[in-house]
Structure 1
Amino acid sequence: MKFGSSIALFVFSAILCFAIDPALSPNFNFAMVGYTLMGACAVGLIAALAINAPRRTRRVTETWSVVDPATGERIVRNESRDSAL
């Protein structure tokens, strides 16, 4: 469940819980369904936050130094990249 769907379902369940008159349907408990859906939305929202949280990254820098046999010139190459842990 993503952020938007969690929030939309939370709003719908709050309407079920707080805005619908219990006398509308005496055999069906709208408040219990609303509270259950709000709990499920809270779990979905926490899961979405945990999954989409920024990860730590590290920068790896490698340096090579080589001497060209033909000219005797020293060649240095630096390479940097980011990698996630």
Structure 2
Amino acid sequence: MGAIVGGIILFVLGAIARFALEIDMPGVDSAMLGTILMVAGAVLFLVGLLLMLRSRKTVVDTQNAPGHSVSERRDPPPNV
């Protein structure tokens, strides 16, 4: 969850640097810095999202009885 929030924060900071700030420092272009931060934020967000979805597991219980079977699907608690 931390990578997702970090990605959003980086993206917002990059958008602010890209569209709202003008930095007058030699060798630093605010538009390029903002673009780099936005791309890094988007990548971090996607990585965090993929890691979160990858760690999710589904438990399947199947019980067979004469003449029929019952399957139960459930997600384990988040701390497992």
Tell whether the 8 Å contact from 2:9 to 2:41 is kept in structure 1 after alignment.
no
Alignment of 1:30 with 2:27, yes or no, is: no
User: 1:37 & 1:3 partners in 2: Cα distance?
Assistant: 14
Where does structure 1 lack aligned partners over 5 or more consecutive residues?
64-81
* Structure 1 consecutive aligned stretches of length 4 or more whose deviation exceeds 6 Å: none
- Backbone CA RMSD of aligned residues: 3.0
Shift in alpha-carbon separation, 1:25–1:7, aligned structure 2, 3 A: same
- For 1:40, the equivalent position in structure 2 comes to 40
Superimposed CA distance per residue, residues 21-57 of structure 1 (whole angstroms, 9 cap, x where no aligned partner): 36x4464211001101111111100001100016342
Q: Which of 10-19 and 25-34 deviates more?
A: 25-34
Shift in alpha-carbon separation, 1:61–1:7, aligned structure 2, 3 A: same
**TM-score of the two chains, using structure 1 as the length reference:** 0.59
- For 1:8, the equivalent position in structure 2 comes to 9
Larger RCO, structure (CA 8 Å, separation 6 or more): 2
Give the structure with the higher percent strand. 1
**TM-score of the two chains, using structure 2 as the length reference:** 0.62
Where does structure 2 lack aligned partners over 5 or more consecutive residues?
65-73
User: 2:42 & 2:15 partners in 1: Cα distance?
Assistant: 12
Number of equivalent positions? 68
Shift in alpha-carbon separation, 1:83–1:5, aligned structure 2, 3 A: closer
